[in-house]
Amino acid sequence: MDTSAKTPGGASFDVNEDALKTLLRIMQAREEQVRKGGGDKAIAKHHSRGKMTARERIDALLDEGSPFLEIGLFTAWDMYKEYGGAPSSGTVFGIGKVHGRDCVIVANDATVKAGAWFPITAKKNLRAQEIAMENRLPIIYLVDSAGVFLPMQDEIFPDKEHFGRIFRNNARMSSLGIPQIAAIMGYCVAGGAYLPIMSDEALIVEGTGTVFLAGSHLVKAAIGEEIDNEALGGAQVHSELSGVTDYRMPDDATALQTVRDLVSKLGPTHRAHFNRIEAVAPRRRAEDLYGIIPSDRAKPYDVRDVLSCIVDDNELVEYKSDYGRSIVCAYARVDGWAVGIVANQRSIVKDGKGEMQIGGVIYSDSADKATRFILNCNQKKIPLVFLQDVTGFMIGSRAEHGGIIKDGAKMVNAVANSIVPKITFIMGNSYGAGNYAMCGKAYDPRFIFSWPSAQIAVMGGAQASKTLLEIRISQLKREGKEITEEEQQELLRTIQDRYASQMSPYYAASRLWVDGIIDPAHTRDVISHCISIADNNPEFAPFNPGVIQT
């Protein structure tokens, strides 16, 4: 292995660092663009109405100086271009502290299409409710939305994971005793009107907040009645006549302060009490991660170097270190929290028989080891952290005859039935069934993030592009068409470009396959924050891994 990639100043380290910092600069520029929502003109128009923006409302609600773990910043990135786009899907949400208490906060961004709900907006709101339920967190809705985006109503309205599921979840959270508070700070229309009113308490802002099942234009069209929106469902109507809302607020600032007051009076919470001691700084700087991860994703590296930048120093106890070496399993501490780490090893290693194993590939012995380790962490109630850089399971006659499918199934079973919080980071490759075994989105991680260097796909780009090219050439030949070598190369480039765009972490983040794209240097802080959030839920289902073949 290239030792110059291990320390700052080494030739490979510096090349890697420059490449990753370039990715970070791109990410930061895109973050700045997305955080502007509908843009400066839309923000100015919003302010002219006496309204705070979604992000300003969240800032005012949070404890001063406390961190906000935003989820889904890049939701809808590069989507809905035919409608002018929908930055962050017109909704801002994350987890932050209100009077010292972790809360999920969901704020419609009315600078984006008047806060209208696109299909991915519904998915993002469902993710917010899922996090609240899994971690037993109060949820606060800051409502300012014109309702469903009608040109796409067929993709948001009737299905199980569409708009209506949100109100079902309102009811479920109420039955679970999870507090829900809604502040109506703008339009709240049609089916969306149920969200704040199915919350425990609802506030409405005078002059800007309105709630109705049908706005004035639809009322006139449907029954011929002429009435303006304020008289139909404004703050006075719902505070004095209908009794729909509980608190009438003069402005945004007062409404947000009242929400803070309500949260301050919530009863005590119980904790899971995951094991934590005083933190010790890692052996290496977090920023060293930039140089450790190769800019060429085919090159090997030792994942233990990655761990040395993340875990507390002298707190790494490796499980079965000489067995199943293509996966590193270890007990460790991160910011004092006890964790179980399952990480793909990208260096080329020898197995117990002295034979070379390809880095980033899961072999039978590695799957067997990881299964046992995951089961142990569940028995001990230790949260799991998965660090993905995986190209999949080993293939070929030797692997098949050795039972790779059986051993892979064991690992997938253990991951699927885990009851402890699972936090996943996609550092590099995340291909095929390797994504599943290493706790991809389908396996219910409490939180899942990617680095800017991540790629997520059913297989690597080179293999996939060549396979797709062969399929296309065969199809053309069946149609009686022949293409030249030049045409084949042009077709291959087109396929490669399309496939590469679909492997991008932004493609994944836009569709909420990951909760966000983070700076690798923030990984330790994010792990600690996520475990602190998960510690709010003391309830565990019985641990039953089901039938595991031996």
pLDDT of the chain, 550 residues: tens digit per residue: 555 566 776 789 999 999 999 999 999 999 999 999 999 999 999 999 999 999 999 999 999 999 999 999 999 999 999 999 999 999 999 999 999 999 999 999 999 999 999 999 999 999 999 999 999 999 999 999 988 888 888 888 888 888 889 999 999 999 999 999 999 999 988 767 888 889 999 999 999 999 988 888 888 888 998 998 889 889 999 999 999 999 999 999 999 999 999 999 999 989 999 999 999 999 999 999 999 999 998 899 999 999 999 999 988 999 999 999 999 999 999 999 999 999 999 988 777 777 777 778 999 999 999 999 999 999 999 999 999 999 989 888 888 888 899 999 999 999 999 999 999 999 999 998 999 999 999 999 999 999 999 999 876 666 666 777 778 778 877 878 777 778 777 777 777 777 778 889 999 999 999 999 999 999 999 999 999 999 999 998 888 888 777 6
* Tokens describing residue 43: 């923000």
- Nearest CA to 489 out of 471, 460, 466 is that of 466
For residue 515, the tally of other CB atoms under 10 A from its CB is 28
- C-alpha distances (whole Å) from 520 to each of 73, 127, 258, 435 are 17, 23, 37, 19
**pLDDT at position 474, please?**
81
The residues, any chain, with a CB within 8 Å of residue 194's CB and separated by 6 or more, are 167, 170
Q: Which pLDDT belongs to residue 495?
A: 76
Q: Which long-range contacts (CB under 8 A, 24 or more apart) does 44-49 make?
A: 45/111, 46/110, 46/111, 49/208
Nearest to 141, CA basis, from 177, 107, 101, 115: 107
For residues 191 and 116, what is the distance between their CA atoms, to the nearest angstrom? Answer: 12
What mean pLDDT, rounded, does the chain reach?
A: 92
Asked if residue 536 lies in contact with residue 102, where contact means CB atoms within 8 angstroms, the answer is: yes
Task: Provide the H-helix boundaries in 92-234.
Answer: 119-135, 164-175, 194-197, 216-223, 229-233
56: Cβ–Cβ under 8 A, 6 or more apart, which residues? none
Q: How far apart are the C-alpha atoms of 357 and 347, rounded to whole Å?
A: 9
Structure tokens at 538: 């003391």
> Rg of the chain's alpha carbons, rounded to an integer?
26
Query: Cα(408)–Cα(406) distance, rounded to whole angstroms?
Result: 5
- Residue 109: alpha-carbon gap to chain centroid: 19
User: For residue 175, what are the β-bridge partners?
Assistant: none
**The pLDDT of residue 349:** 76
| HEC per residue, 206-232 | CCCCEEECCCHHHHHHHHCCCCCHHHH
pLDDT of residue 5: 60
Distance CA(124)–CA(424), nearest Å, equals 18
* Phi then psi dihedrals of residue 340, to 5 deg: -110, 125
Please answer whether residues 125 and 106 qualify as being in contact, where contact means their C-beta atoms are separated by less than 8 angstroms.
Answer: yes
pLDDT digits (tens, 9 = 90+) for 456-481: 987 666 666 677 777 877 887 787 87
Q: Which helix (H) or strand (E) holds 318?
A: strand 317-319
Residue 2: per-residue pLDDT: 58
> Per residue in 31-59, pLDDT tens?
999 999 999 999 999 999 999 999 999 99
